[in-house]
Structure 1
Amino acid sequence: MPYAVAYVTTLVTFLAVDAVWLMTMSQRLYRRYLGDILVESFNPPPAALFYLIYIAGIIIFATAPAFSTGKWTTAALNGALYGFFAYATYDLTNQATIRGWPTIITVADICWGSLLSAVAATVGFLLTRYFLRGA
């Protein structure tokens, strides 16, 4: 039960915070630097699959260890590390294989992924603990 609650709370947190980022930075950063290679319209199925898989990773690598220690700081640190490694893998691979991939995108994405994952893991952990204490 705690993992199901953690999954939902983490997913909702991640989606809400990432939506703000994407609405704010989509034109300023991504369209500006990646305009020629971006699709014209958003493709929901791969995005949904990413979110579902990625949140499972946060639960496995950040939230489960936080449940073991009972500390939100474990969720925050492990979430940040998970985000750092995942986003670095994506962006550095793109930088190595896609002509003209901008370094500013790589740096911004890695920082964002680290922060977003830390926040989602922490809020998901804290909300799960809050909801399950009352149960």
Structure 2
Amino acid sequence: MNVRVKKWLLAYAAAAVVFAVIDVAWILTVANRQYESQIGDLLAPSVNLAGAVVFYLIFVVGIVHYGIRPNDAGATLRQRVTGAALFGFFTYATWALTALAVLKDFPVLVAVTDIAWGAGVCSAVTWLTVTVLRPDRVRQRTS
């Protein structure tokens, strides 16, 4: 396995752990309560674990590709975090705004909260992963 693939897989593994920890904390402390109170009648009686696992596996690929960019030595931390924020914003907006458009009485508050969460969590995962994996080589200039 070449160095580029190893770097990418290491970034993927680290980001997956960071994302899972942060997202589970978010779900347990904020999202569950908000979803129960705002869209409880739309929720399944139990989580579809296979669907959740597939989401995490695919979504982390996007965070690594658009945010962390382990094989782009020229990307600054700001560029990486911005890329991740945009990825999170667009992906969560796709879900939230589609739900707002097609589900009866879907709350704007849930849509806005989810979109903000998507941008924020992707930024945080990228920042943490890049900082942990490459603390001495991350270029932190603002350009």
Both proteins in one fold, TM over 0.5: yes
Determine the C-alpha separation between the residues in 1 that align with 2:16 and 2:50. Answer: 16
**8 Å Cα contact 1:66-1:72 kept in structure 2:** no
| Counterpart check, 1:97 vs 2:106 | no
The TM-score, its normalising length taken from structure 2, stands at 0.85
**Residues 1-135 of structure 1 mapped to structure 2, 5 A cutoff:** 1-64=6-69, 67-130=72-135
CA drift of 1:93 comes to 0.6
Determine the C-alpha separation between the residues in 2 that align with 1:104 and 1:14. Answer: 23
Unaligned runs of 5+ in 2: 1-5, 138-143
The letter for the 2-side match of 1:123 is L
Identity of aligned residues (%): 30
CA drift of 1:70 comes to 4.3
**8 Å Cα contact 1:13-1:124 kept in structure 2:** yes
CA RMSD of aligned residues (A): 1.9
Determine the C-alpha separation between the residues in 2 that align with 1:23 and 1:5. Answer: 27
Q: Deviations along 1:26-82, whole A, 9 cap, x unmatched? A: 442011101001011111100000000000011111122783324222221111110
Determine the C-alpha separation between the residues in 1 that align with 2:133 and 2:53. Answer: 22
How many residues get paired? Answer: 132
**CA distance 1:65–1:4, change in 2 (3 Å):** closer
Query: Which has the larger helix fraction?
Result: 1
The TM-score, its normalising length taken from structure 1, stands at 0.90
**8 Å Cα contact 2:80-2:126 kept in structure 1:** yes
